[in-house]
Amino acid sequence: MTKKDNKKEGDLILGSILGICFLILIYTFIVKPIFNSSSKYLNDKSDKKANCQTSYSVRNAKTEFAAKQAFDKCMNE
């Protein structure tokens, strides 16, 4: 191997490492906070209960048993 080939390999490895670090930083500071802020709404049990009570499958259930099953399914999701 020549010095030129070694330099190209080194540049490739360094570029790969920097690219991975860049992706990790983007995930940590941009993607993760967005998902955490949106999941707080669903983590609040009273909000989730209100959403499930007004969901299509619960409101349009033919029997009370079917409505309860749909509500339980919604709450467990």
Q: What is the DSSP letter of 3?
A: H
Per-residue pLDDT tens listing for the chain (77 residues): 677 777 888 888 999 999 999 999 998 888 888 777 666 655 677 788 888 888 888 999 999 999 999 999 998 88
Domain boundaries, the chain: 1-43, 44-77
- The predicted model scores a pTM of 0.46
**Cβ–Cβ contacts within 10 Å for residue 58, how many?**
19
DSSP 25-75: HHIIIIIHHHHHHHHHHHH-HHHHHHHHHTSHHHHT-SSHHHHHHHHHHHH
